[in-house]
Amino acid sequence: MSGCKTVLCVFLWGPIHWLTTFKHWNGKYFDKIPLCKLGTSTLLDNYEAFICIVWEWSFICLLKQAGIRNNAGGWKAAEPASCMVDCLACLHPGVNIPVKVDPDLLDAWEDTLFVSMDANFKLERFEVSSKEKDPGLGSGLRYFVDMTSFKNHLKMFDKHILQAWSTCNDHKAAKPDKKTCARSQALAASGVGGVICMHHELKLALSMVDLQVRETYVDLALSPEWSWAISNGVAASTQEMSPGHRCEKLGSINWQKNISIDAVLNTAEYESHFKHFTKTLPSEEIAKWTMMVEAWEADREEPNPFAQTMASKSEAAMHLQLACKDAQDELVGLDGDQLFDTSLKDMVAQGVQIEASHLQACDNLGNGPLVPTYLQQLYLPSSILLMDHPCGDVLICAKACLRIGQGFDLLHTICGHLLALAKAYKDGDTTTLMQKEQLKCHKTTRDINACITQAKNYYQHVQQCLMTLSTRSGDCTWQSQLRVLEESDVHQISDNAVGAFDNEQECGLVDQWGVDLRIKWCKAHARVHCWREECKLVKADMQHVRHTLKHDAILWLSQAEKREAGINASEGAGAYARCQAAIHTAIKARFKWKW
């Protein structure tokens, strides 16, 4: 009975150990077991023995699942990467696609294998053991390469590859040496890096290595950390394992791959939202936008439907225009004798930023500034004119350009907030929300209204500054687009937002709303088509998975027919092969039912 309990415990340990919430169940759990007894005897510390049992059990299961037991030479004759788990959805000639395929039948983007380098810096390992003390049971049978050969290979090319200067800020993987990072002094490996199938995020054979504490370009080029979430759950337990045990534990990553149809479900959701959004817009505008999208896809010289088409001037564009004007003046010598590094136009731009931050601080305080502006003057050109102080035309023009850019930016900001507010109200009306969701929706609408009020007040301040500046410069052309914004001009967008306004003073917002709605509709349309392409890939992957599972089941049945002379366990090996064939057939049936 005790043997059965041990087998059951070891059998359950493997799957549970991959859970993220299980990472704190380590040796301390076994230390608390004596507290559950009567205290009349002392229990032996069997934690290390249990870990060795789990290690051997996992290795035996690895050999059996790879079919090594059914081979004539056994595990000693196993070739490198013979125990790896292939990606079921990737293309395998002779398995899920024919060996010889007509090139005309292959799609350029569907039938292509995309690979990339990836790294996980959470899978650290402390210097608690070495390969000589605790060697691995099956080194090189899956994904990790032999580190000794790998390091010897790097030494041959280390001096031939130029190492660029690192811009990482206190990243232990890019430290010059262990002495510069206190934590790195106790690390034998700062993570794990390798080559993965980019579409399905499965590791390739013999493509994983331990990251060195001093990582260089000869080891691994730039690698993002984006497909290792499933392995983060065992980071706490593998950091104190021996090198061999850790490599074999992390070699089970591909078994955790979960094939689902999330892309298909997301497509239906996006299509539903897109159809609902299309119904709220006029059909004439939809037809016009559709023609714009089709024309732009056919010829990129046509107007881009995803870009702003209004003749607006942003603050960033005005900064660029002033910088170019400064460069031209300096080139022709019109800047005069400049005593400081900062030009006059840059000084005006910095003053505008200081004023904006000052107004933001006033809004945050709520009770006005701590020091009133009549006691602490900013001496901007708009206020200097009111005090009848002389000011150069260069500063006046620079300040007017920046204010015009701010006005257009604020109009665009108000329109974006109004669109977000309309969506928040619609979501609250069409969805039955609980109290927690209702409070969250109310907080969202309150925050959006606060942003709208702040932007509206700042727009009115900018317009007042432009009126003051125009009395000196005489330029009033901005008034045709940056009109006076009344309280009634800023309100929620209705379902027929485009073309539903009769007030002439709302034209500035109406035009911007039309552009924003067009861009939003085009993005929703593109998102639907993007998920349709993803669904096309997923359906092709489903077909590949079914063919691969069918091939594996047939392969296991052929292994079951093998008999080895003089071995009494041949019947057990055949039974295990039939069991594996049944498992692959059942997985195929479950996927078929799910899809």
* Separation between Cα atoms, residue 160 and residue 547, nearest integer Å: 45
Residue 507 confidence (pLDDT): 44
Can you read off the two tokens belonging to residue 146? 């032999």
Residue 564: predicted pLDDT? 55
Is the pLDDT score of 225 beyond 60?
A: no
The band of 109, judged by pLDDT with boundaries at 50, 70 and 90, is low
Q: How many CA atoms lie within 13 Å of 139's alpha carbon, on the beta-carbon side? A: 15
What local confidence, expressed as pLDDT, does residue 18 receive? 53
pLDDT over 50 (residue 238): yes
Q: What is the mean pLDDT of residues 21-39?
A: 50
Q: Tokens 């593109």 identify what position? A: 526
Average per-residue pLDDT in the chain?
69
More confident position, 272 or 39: 272
pLDDT tens string 307-349: 765 555 666 777 677 777 777 777 666 555 454 566 666 777 7
399, 379, 377: which is closest to 389 by C-alpha? 379
Mean of the pLDDT values across residues 533-543? Answer: 75
Is the pLDDT score of 22 beyond 60?
A: no
Ranked by mean pLDDT, the top range of 262-266, 361-365, 418-422, 425-429 is: 418-422
Residue with tokens 């350009």: 401
Higher pLDDT, 221 or 289: 289
pLDDT bucket at 182, cuts 50 / 70 / 90: low
Confidence of residue 300 (pLDDT cuts 50, 70, 90): confident
Q: Supply the pLDDT for residue 63.
A: 77
Task: Round to the nearest angstrom and report the end-to-end CA distance of the chain.
Answer: 42
555 pLDDT higher than 80? yes
More confident residue, 354 or 565: 354
Tokens of 402: 């920046």
Kindly tell me if the per-residue pLDDT of 258 is higher than 50: no
Q: Label residue 305 exposed, middle or buried (CB < 10 Å: 0-12, 13-18, 19+).
A: buried
Greatest distance between any 2 Cα atoms in the chain: 111
Average pLDDT over residues 510-525: 67
Percent of residues, the chain, with pLDDT higher than 70: 54
Q: Which is more confident, 245 or 509?
A: 245
Q: Is residue 261's pLDDT more than 50?
A: no
Helix (H) or strand (E) holding 518, with range, is helix 507-560
Per-position DSSP letters for 250-307, written without gaps between them: HTTTGGG-----HHHHHHHHHHHHHHHHHHTS-HHHHHHHHHHHHHHHH-TTSPPTTS
Checking if the pLDDT of 353 tops 60, the result is: yes
In this structure, the number of other CB atoms found within 10 A of the CB of residue 127 comes to 10
Kindly tell me if the per-residue pLDDT of 216 is higher than 50.
yes
Between 208 and 158, name the one with better pLDDT: 208
Q: What is the mean pLDDT of residues 71-83?
A: 71
Is a pLDDT exceeding 60 seen at residue 153? yes
The residue with greater pLDDT, 276 or 20, is: 276
Residue with tokens 């359950």: 12
What does the pLDDT look like over 44-60, one tens digit per residue? 666 677 777 777 777 77
* pTM score: 0.52
| pLDDT value, residue 327 | 73
**Average pLDDT value for residue range 175-188:** 59
Under the banding of pLDDT at 50, 70 and 90, the label for residue 208 is confident
What is the C-alpha separation between 73 and 78, in angstroms, rounded?
8
Q: What confidence tens digit (pLDDT) does each residue in 359-394 have?
A: 666 666 554 445 555 555 566 655 555 555 556 677
Range ranked top by mean pLDDT from 108-112, 244-248, 581-585: 581-585
Domain limits, the chain:
315-480
Average pLDDT over residues 545-554: 85
pLDDT at res. 259: 47
Q: How far apart are CA 262 and CA 542, in angstroms?
A: 13
Give residue 262's pLDDT.
44
Least confident among 253-262, 324-333, 450-459, 473-482: 253-262
Say which range, 89-103, 248-262, 290-304, has the weakest mean pLDDT.
Answer: 248-262
Q: Is the pLDDT of residue 501 over 50?
A: no
